């Protein structure tokens, strides 16, 4: 096929798309591109090819991408197709169960561009297909939607959010009720839903999809989430001096209600970031992990002498914590996801021990395979079960007997009886409860980190993210590591390499390499599931000597492994 024929084929696809697109903004955008292609603009031709030669994939993370026209972008056409396909899946699943009632769905949305309109489209199309649809009453955090799926005993849930992605992105996250208990979808549901979505895209115009009336959830659902979340904390014996930022997201209103219900004083706010703003004007990337994202929080904390900084990402399912550190340039340092996860895991183990019967503590601590091995050390010390899962809370939330779960990317599940997903609000409350108890004893979070090292050893970690412009580069690096496995990394001997591509133990297949090193170190290598990155996770442990000696030894091992992996992935 010549280039002209290829352009004409894409123009025909674009014209069909324009006929069903209800959004004047994306229609105008696509029409201008089509005109430019007809005029012979090679950049426009490449742009049209990128939009129409492939489709934004629906997987276990749902949909996520840039808001723009075409099937390889997030827009009202794609969302309508997704809603109709998900409705068909729910109806088919209900038809297969003779005892099933009419399927139902609850839909939430955050403050990103088009979140409200995508949510309303979903509700109307679900209702038109015969699914009982309920829309949450206003923009709310993702954990409230995850809670609502269980609270309403819904067949499914949809959250319209792109979490901490760039400002012009949006996404579509799907949860299942019933036996899935409000967890995010996993295989094979993702493939079955994707097939239904593709069928809609191939056979129907979204302009002709029937739309129906949906219900709006009462505010009492939010109030019940607040009530149950407040139970995570004991009444505070002291009031930590806290700074809070919502990172231009939707977390503050719900967080404020939870803090009040739990008896905590209102924190000092980073006012410039407290209200939802889809433009995220004060940050280059609305992710607390990114350099510079917490600079305003640090500045506000210095002004008020804060003992703790609490940050949620824009949809409030993640939590970042920072504490005073005189050696840091900003006067504060953000704790790593592993540091927060291990502290909260220790807290959960203590609670499990406090309510244990004659047979001792029971329950499971779970984390992703790329998170710190320190959680297993805690589980062993408290005689709890431990489970390492594939990356993502869709797996962590399914650990049997779960009492606590986390992943190093700032995700924590502290109340699995209420929410089966990461929850940055309940996790923040659990952390504040710990900080309050420590303050009442005249101790700090830093003191508690030292106590952790003294009891469980120093579990140090680091992460390398290798961003690529060509996705093929990631496959090349993974293939090379498999074909030419290293005998050592950073001068530390490799004991074995475990390739998880065919599954490993009870883990399903995943494109992950686990490099086990002499001395207890470990390196995990995997492609990112949401960004064009290769991610390398490094862990080392030191269990002998003083606290300072353990920190020094573990940090030195991590530094050597990091240098070695940068060479191997160059």
Catalytic center residues? 163
β-pairing, 215-216 vs 132-135, is parallel
Closest listed residue to residue 258, CA positions, set 414, 377, 102, 80 = 414
Separation of alpha carbons 313 and 288, rounded Å: 6
Please enumerate in sequence order all residues whose Cβ is within 8 A of that of 24, keeping only pairs 6 or more positions apart, or say none: none
Q: Please give the DSSP secondary-structure letter assigned to residue 324.
A: E
Bond preceding residue 42 cis, omega within 30 of 0:
no
Distance CA 508, CA 527 (A): 16
Locate 468 and state its tokens: 């690529």
The beta strand positions in 410-546, using DSSP E, are 411-413, 458-467, 488-489, 492-499, 513-517, 522-527, 533-542
Q: Could you give the C-alpha distances from 534 to 465, 470, 484, 496, 561, in angstroms and in order? A: 6, 11, 18, 21, 16
Q: Give strand pairing partners of 135.
A: 107, 216
- Per residue, the 3-state secondary structure of 245-284, as one string, reads ECCCCCHHHHHHHHHHHHCCCCCEECHHHCCCCCCCCCCC
Q: Is the peptide bond before 188 cis (omega within 30 degrees of 0)?
A: yes
Please tell me the distance from the alpha carbon of residue 218 to that of residue 222, in angstroms, as a whole number: 8
Is residue 489 helix, strand or coil?
strand
| Residue 556: partners with Cβ closer than 8 Å, 6 or more residues away | none
Contact 534, 468 (CB under 8 A): yes
Backbone angles phi, psi at 224, to 5 degrees: -70, -40
Dig out the tokens for 499 from the structure.
């390739």
Distances (CA, A) of 347 to 250, 354, 543: 27, 11, 21
For the chain, helix (H) and strand (E) counts, in that order, are: 17, 22
The secondary structure element, H or E, covering residue 155 is none
Token pair for 253? 């209103």
3-class secondary structure, 499: strand
Residue 90 CB burial class (10 angstroms; 0-12, 13-18, ≥19):
buried
Residues in the chain: 570
State how far the alpha carbon of 189 is from the alpha carbons of 133, 149, 419, 570, in Å. 20, 17, 20, 37
Q: Which two tokens stand for residue 489?
A: 């990394």
Strands (DSSP E) contained in 528-567 are 533-542
Residue 187, C-beta contacts closer than 8 angstroms, at least 6 positions apart: 60, 508
DSSP assignment letter at 400 = T
């Amino acid at each position: 096929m010549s280039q002209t024929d290829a352009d004409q084929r894409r123009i025909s696809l674009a014209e069909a798309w324009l006929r069903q697109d209800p959004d004047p903004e994306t229609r105008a955008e696509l029409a201008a591109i089509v005109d430019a292609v007809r005029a012979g603009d090679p950049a426009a031709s490449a742009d049209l090819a990128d939009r129409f030669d492939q489709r934004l994939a629906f997987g276990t993370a749902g949909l996520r991408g840039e808001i723009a026209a075409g099937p390889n972008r997030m827009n009202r056409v794609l969302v309508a197709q997704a809603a109709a396909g998900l409705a068909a899946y729910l109806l088919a699943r209900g038809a297969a169960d003779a005892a099933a009632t009419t399927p139902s769905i609850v839909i939430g949305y955050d403050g990103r561009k088009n979140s409200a309109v995508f949510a309303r489209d979903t509700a109307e199309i679900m209702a038109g297909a015969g699914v009982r649809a309920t829309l949450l009453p206003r923009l709310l955090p993702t954990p409230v939607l995850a809670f609502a799926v269980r609270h309403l005993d819904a067949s499914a849930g949809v959250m319209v959010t792109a979490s901490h992605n760039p400002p012009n992105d949006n996404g579509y996250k799907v949860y299942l009720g019933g036996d899935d208990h409000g967890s995010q979808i996993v295989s094979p549901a993702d493939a079955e839903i994707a097939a239904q979505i593709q069928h809609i895209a191939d056979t129907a115009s979204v302009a002709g999809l029937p739309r129906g009336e949906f219900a709006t959830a009462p505010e009492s659902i939010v109030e019940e989430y607040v009530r149950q979340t407040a139970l995570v904390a004991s009444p505070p014996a002291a009031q930590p001096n806290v700074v809070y930022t919502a990172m231009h997201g939707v977390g503050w209103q719900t967080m404020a209600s939870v803090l009040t219900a739990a008896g905590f004083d209102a924190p000092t706010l980073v006012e410039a970031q407290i209200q939802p703003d889809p433009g995220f004007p004060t940050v280059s990337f609305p992710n607390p992990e990114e350099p510079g994202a917490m600079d305003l929080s640090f500045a506000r904390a210095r002004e008020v002498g804060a003992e703790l900084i609490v940050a949620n990402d824009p949809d409030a399912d993640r939590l970042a914590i920072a504490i005073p550190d005189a050696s840091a340039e900003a006067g504060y340092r953000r704790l790593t996801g592993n540091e927060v996860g291990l502290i909260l895991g220790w807290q959960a183990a203590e609670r499990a021990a406090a309510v244990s019967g004659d047979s001792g503590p029971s329950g499971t601590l779970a984390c992703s395979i790329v998170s710190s091995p320190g959680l297993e050390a805690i589980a062993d010390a408290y005689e709890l079960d431990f489970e390492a899962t594939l990356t993502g809370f869709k797996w962590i939330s399914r650990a049997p007997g779960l009492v606590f779960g986390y992943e190093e990317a700032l995700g924590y599940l502290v109340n699995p009886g209420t929410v089966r997903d990461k929850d940055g609000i309940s996790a923040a409350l659990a952390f504040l409860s710990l900080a309050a108890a420590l303050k009442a004893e005249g101790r700090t979070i830093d003191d508690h980190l030292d106590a952790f090292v003294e009891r469980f050893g120093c579990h140090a970690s680091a992460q390398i993210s290798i961003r690529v412009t060509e996705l093929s580069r990631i496959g090349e690096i993974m293939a090379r590591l498999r074909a030419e496995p290293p005998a050592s990394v950073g001068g530390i001997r490799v004991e074995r390499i475990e390739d998880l591509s065919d599954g490993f133990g009870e883990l399903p297949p995943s494109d992950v390499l686990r490099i086990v090193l002499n001395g207890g170190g470990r390196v995990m290598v995997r492609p990112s599931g949401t960004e064009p990155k290769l991610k390398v996770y490094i862990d080392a442990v030191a269990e002998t000597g003083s606290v300072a000696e353990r920190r020094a030894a573990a940090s030195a091992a991590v530094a050597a492994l990091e240098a070695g992996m940068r060479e191997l992935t160059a």
